[in-house]
């Protein structure tokens, strides 16, 4: 069933587990995400980034996710990831997304608060929850995100930001990166603990790919309730294609799409299982 993201994350916060938010692009990626969640009997968040609006029909995509969610026995939420434009957020709200992320992390705190607050007012009128970010993730390898500068989240600014904006969940920059790590990950768990003590909203970890399982588990203990996963899933699917090319195979498109889905499912299920924290 389709549910509000906030409902899923509040439950995760109470019960000390996290929910996977998978970046998706088409039918097969959505099917893989929902099946992975069903296998593990856990909720899942389907996330579409604003940067894919030029290639993915947002209204059509939303209808697709809602139809698949209604057939599923696990809670499914539909989330707009990293949106920079108010117009994109309004478009997503209008066609039924259950949460939106406004990324004002490039602005200073005052301007980020002003812009985020406006988004919260619009979204909450429609019953849609809002994620926002202060600090900024650096860009690792194989990432498809905007370049960030790697500024970590300051706990006192986080408190001021959450109190002033009324956001529902906060993306905290604690050293994870978008994409895969260049070298050893350097995750600041002490900082995460300070952020958790400063704010009471569920916290979001961007850059789940490549983060060691033990560290992911520790972040869940320290308040992370949503983990964004993109690169590892993408790499698994593209590796399948590379393998076809290397073997000089030319499978039919229908086979390619189905095989890519089958390749992504176990990677996604691995994350869902890890985050379930059982
Ligand atoms: Zn992100």
CB under 5 Å of ion ligand 1: residues: 206
Q: How is domain 5-276 classified at the architecture level of CATH?
A: Alpha-Beta Barrel (3.20)
pLDDT at 11 (0 to 100): 97
Q: What angle do CA 172, 235, 216 make, to 5 degrees?
A: 35
- The Å distance, Cα 207 to ligand 1 centre, comes to 6
- The Å distance, Cα 116 to ligand 1 centre, comes to 16
pLDDT at 67 (0 to 100): 98
pLDDT at 149 (0 to 100): 77
pLDDT at 237 (0 to 100): 94
- The Å distance, Cα 253 to ligand 1 centre, comes to 30
Q: What is the DSSP string of the chain?
A: -B--HHHHHHHHHHHT--EEEEE--SHHHHHHHHHHHHHHT--EEEEEEGGGTTTS-HHHHHHHHHHHHHH-SS-EEEEEEEE--HHHHHHHHHTT-SEEEE--TTS-HHHHHHHHHHHHHHHHHTT-EEEEEES-PEE-BT--SPP---PPPPHHHHHHHHHHH--SEEEE-SS-EESB-SSS----HHHHHHHHHH--S-EEE---TT--HHHHHHHHHTTEEEEEE-HHHHHHHHHHHHHHHHTT----HHHHHHHHHHHHHHHHHHHHHHHHT-
With CA atoms as reference, report the closest residue to 101 among 175, 143, 47: 47
Question: What's the pLDDT tens digit per position in 149-174?
Answer: 788 999 999 999 999 999 999 999 99
pTM for this entry: 0.96
Q: Could you give the residue numbers annotated as active site?
A: 81
Segments in the chain below pLDDT 50: none
């Amino acid at each position: 069933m389709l549910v509000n993201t906030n409902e899923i994350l509040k439950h995760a916060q109470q019960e000390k587990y996290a929910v996977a938010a998978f970046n998706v692009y088409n039918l097969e990626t959505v099917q893989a995400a929902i099946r992975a969640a069903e296998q593990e009997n856990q909720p899942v968040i389907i996330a579409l980034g604003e940067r894919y609006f030029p290639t993915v029909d947002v209204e059509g995509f939303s209808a697709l996710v809602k139809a698949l969610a209604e057939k599923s026995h696990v809670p499914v939420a539909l989330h707009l990831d990293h949106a920079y434009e108010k117009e994109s957020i309004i478009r997503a709200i209008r066609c039924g997304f259950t949460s939106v992320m406004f990324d004002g992390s490039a602005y200073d705190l005052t301007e980020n608060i002003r812009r985020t607050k406006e988004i919260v007012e619009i979204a909450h009128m429609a019953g849609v929850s809002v994620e926002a970010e202060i600090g900024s993730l650096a860009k690792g390898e194989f990432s498809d995100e905007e370049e960030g500068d790697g500024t970590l989240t300051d706990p006192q600014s986080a408190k001021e930001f959450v109190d002033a904006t009324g956001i529902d969940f906060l993306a905290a920059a604690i050293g994870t990166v978008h994409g895969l790590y260049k070298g050893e990950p350097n995750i600041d768990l002490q900082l995460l603990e300070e952020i958790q003590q400063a704010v009471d909203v569920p916290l979001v970890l961007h850059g789940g790919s490549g983060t060691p399982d033990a560290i992911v588990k520790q972040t869940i203990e320290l308040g992370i309730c949503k983990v964004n996963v993109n690169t590892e899933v993408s790499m698994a699917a593209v590796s399948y294609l590379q393998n076809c090319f290397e073997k000089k195979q030319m499978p039919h498109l229908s086979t390619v799409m189905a095989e890519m889905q089958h390749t992504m499912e176990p990677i996604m299920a691995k994350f869902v299982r890890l985050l379930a924290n059982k």
